[in-house]
Amino acid sequence: MSYKQEEIIETIHMTQVEHLDIRTVTFGISLRDCSDRDPKHLLANIREKIMTRAANHVKTVEQVSAEFGIPIANKRLAVTPIAIVADGHDKATFIEVARTLDSCAEELGIDYLGGYSALVQKGMTNGDRNLIDSIPDAIACTKRVCSSVNVASTRAGINMDAIARMGYIIKELAEKTPQAIGCCKLVVFANCVEDNPFIAGAFHGISEPETVINVGISGPGVVLNAIKQAGQCDVGALAETIKRTAFKVTRMGEMVGRKVSQRLGVEFGIVDLSLAPTPAEGDSVADIIEAMGLERCGCHGTTAALMMLNDAVKKGGLMASSFVGGLSGAFIPVSEDAGMIRAVEAGAITIEKLEAMSAVCSVGLDMVAIPGDTPAETISAIIADECAIGVVNHKTTAVRFIPVPGKMVGQSAEYGGLLGTAPIMAVSKFSSSNFIRRGGRIPAPASGINN
C-alpha cells in the first residue's frame, strides 16, 4: 500500500480525536488605496473594496474544510492599519470606519476583522492619536472589529507616551463593555509582525501585497498526545517527538492554505506555526508542560519546558514549510486554556511567572484578567515591562489585559466560546505612577543598532 496503516490511522486520529484543526485562515486586504479626504467617500471606498475582494472567502474556506475533512475554526479578515488609511480624519470618522468594517465582516460571515490599528513605536501622527482615542467607543459599538497598537520596537525603542495613554484606553474600554469583554479585542504590541493571522493582533502590513492568504495552525492536543505516547524518555527525545509532530501539523496547514489561495486566486503568504490552545479539554499548552513532568504549569521548570516546546515546534515547522511567518510560537493565553485556568486557580501561576514565560515563547501576557480597580498607570507599567522583554530579545511581545470592573482576586469573568473563563489575577499593590508619568521615549537598545 502507498501509505502504511499506522500513517493513515495517525492522520484520522489527529483530525477526529485530538482536535487538530486550522485555527484561522486570514484574508489580508490592503486598504491603502481607499483613503479620501471626504469621509463619505472613505467609507464607501473601504466598503466597496472589502465586499468585492473578500466576497468568496468564507464560502471557499468552508468548501476546502468539508472536502479535506479538516476543521477550520475561524475565517478572518486583516486590513491595513486604519490609522494609515484614515489619517487626517477626526475621532468621529474613525468610529464610523469601525462600524463600516463591522458591517462588512457581518455581511461576509467573517468571525473577526483585525486592523483597527496604529503603529506608534516612535511617535504619533494626528491620525494615530485620533484612532487610539476612538478605540473604546469603536470596540464598544462593534462586534467583530479587533484593535492593536504597536508601542515599541527593537529599532525605535519604547514609546512611553503611547504606553501611558494605553493604560487609560484599556480602563475606559473595560468600563464601556459588559464584563470588560471589549478588552479581549485590544492588544498592545512590541515588535508586531505584518503577516500575523491571529486575532486580536492581525493587520495587513504596509509592505504586504493587495491581497494575501495567511494560515494559523493549531494543535496543542496533537502535541500533548505525542508526548504522552513518548513515555519516559529524556528531554532530547521529547524535543524530537514534538518536532516530528509539528512537521505534520504544519504540512497540513500549508496544504489547506494553498488550496484556499489557489481557489480564491489570491497569493499565499505564510503559515504561522503557533500552538494556539482552546478552552476545550486536552487542547491546552499548560497540559503539555504538565505532561513533561511538572506538577502544575507555572512551577519552577516551566520556563525551560516552554522554551524547549517552542523551539521544537519551530524546527519541525521550518522543515515543513518554506514560508513561515506571523508570530510562530506557543501561545500562553490564560482564559483560553483550561490547563492555565486550573494553574491560576491553584495559585501555581502569577503574572510575574507569565512574564518570564513570555521571554521564551510567542506573544506574552495574553487574556489576563485583573481587578477592575487597578490604576491605569499600573497597567501601563506592566505593558512597559513586557515591551522591554520584546525589544531587547528581538521578539514580539504583547499585552492583552482585562481589568474587570467590580471584580477582585479570587473571582472570575465568564466569556464563553473561544474566549473562555478568566480568573482574576493579582497585580503589585505598589505604585508605578511617577515612572509612567515621566512619559517620553526609551531609546532603542544597543542590540537594535546592528548595521
Partner 1 sequence: MSMSEYEIGRIAEIVAGKVGAQLSPKDLRRVVDTVVDSLKNQQGNLTITGATCEVSGRETEPAHTYSNPQPLPPDQALLREKGGLYQQIEATDSLRIIVAAFGKNRPGVVAAITAELAQLNCSIEDMSQTLMQDFFSLIMVVDIRQCAMDFTALRDRIQSTEAQLGMKVYVMREDIFRYMHRI
> Which H/E stretch holds residue 132?
helix 126-140
Cβ closest to partner 1, residue 40 vs residue 143: 40
Cβ closest to partner 1, residue 64 vs residue 309: 64
Q: Which of 262, 411, 428, 447 binds partner 1 (CB under 8 A)?
A: 262
Reading the block at residue 287, the C-alpha cell is: 497540559
Q: Is the dihedral of CA 71, 74, 80, 81 positive or negative?
A: negative
Reading the block at residue 339, the C-alpha cell is: 490547563
Return the range that interacts with partner 1 (CB under 8 A); candidates 67-75, 116-124, 195-203, 270-278.
67-75
Residues 6+ apart with CB under 8 A from 36: 42, 45
Whole-angstrom Cα Rg for the chain: 21
d(CA 43, CA 50): 11
Give the nearest distance from C-beta 329 to partner 1 in angstroms: 22
Q: Which of 23, 24, 28, 43 binds partner 1 (CB under 8 A)?
A: 43
7 sits near partner 1 (criterion: CB under 8 A): yes
Question: Residue count at the site for partner 1 (CB under 8 A)?
Answer: 38
366 φ, ψ (degrees, to nearest 5): -115, 130
Residue whose entry in the numeric block shows the C-alpha cell 469583554: 181
48 sits near partner 1 (criterion: CB under 8 A): yes
d(CA 199, CA 338): 19
Give the nearest distance from C-beta 45 to partner 1 in angstroms: 5
Return the range that interacts with partner 1 (CB under 8 A); candidates 11-19, 192-200, 343-351, 383-391.
11-19
Give the nearest distance from C-beta 331 to partner 1 in angstroms: 23
Cβ closest to partner 1, residue 5 vs residue 434: 5
Cβ closest to partner 1, residue 75 vs residue 259: 259
Strands 186-190 and 211-217: unpaired
Strands 112-119 and 72-79: parallel
Cβ closest to partner 1, residue 185 vs residue 248: 248
Amino acid at 350: T
Cβ closest to partner 1, residue 17 vs residue 449: 17
Q: In this structure, are residues 394 and 154 in contact, taking their beta carbons and an 8 Å threshold? A: yes
Residues 203-232 binding partner 1 (CB under 8 A) are 210
17 sits near partner 1 (criterion: CB under 8 A): no
Return the range that interacts with partner 1 (CB under 8 A); candidates 72-80, 138-146, 199-207, 256-264.
256-264
- Binding mask 306-345 toward partner 1 (x if CB under 8 A, else -) reads ----------------------------------------
Return the range that interacts with partner 1 (CB under 8 A); candidates 28-36, 126-134, 295-303, 329-337.
28-36
240 sits near partner 1 (criterion: CB under 8 A): no
Cβ closest to partner 1, residue 43 vs residue 360: 43
Q: Which of 19, 23, 49, 76 binds partner 1 (CB under 8 A)?
A: 49
45 sits near partner 1 (criterion: CB under 8 A): yes
Return the range that interacts with partner 1 (CB under 8 A); candidates 47-55, 98-106, 118-126, 422-430.
47-55
84 sits near partner 1 (criterion: CB under 8 A): no
3 sits near partner 1 (criterion: CB under 8 A): yes
Return the range that interacts with partner 1 (CB under 8 A); candidates 5-13, 85-93, 274-282, 326-334.
5-13
Cβ closest to partner 1, residue 36 vs residue 87: 36
d(CA 357, CA 288): 14
Count of CB atoms situated within 10 Å of the CB of 17:
12
Q: In this structure, are residues 362 and 149 in contact, taking their beta carbons and an 8 Å threshold? A: no
Strand residue runs (E) in 364-444: 365-371, 397-404, 412-416, 420-423, 441-442
Give the nearest distance from C-beta 251 to partner 1 in angstroms: 4
Strands 397-404 and 112-119: unpaired
* Cα three-residue angle 224-276-418, rounded to 5 degrees: 110
Residue whose entry in the numeric block shows the C-alpha cell 471626504: 38
d(CA 161, CA 168): 12
Return the range that interacts with partner 1 (CB under 8 A); candidates 31-39, 194-202, 383-391, 418-426.
31-39
Per residue in 210-244, is it b (16+ CB within 10 Å) or e — as a string?
ebbbbbbbbbbbbbbbbbeebeeeeeeebbebbbe
Cβ closest to partner 1, residue 45 vs residue 60: 45
Per residue in 132-156, is it b (16+ CB within 10 Å) or e — as a string?
bbbbbbbbbbbebbbbbbbbbbbeb
Q: Which residues bind partner 1 (CB under 8 A)?
A: 1-3, 5, 7-9, 11-12, 16, 33-34, 36, 40-41, 43-45, 47-49, 52-53, 66-70, 210, 248, 251-252, 254-255, 258-259, 261-262
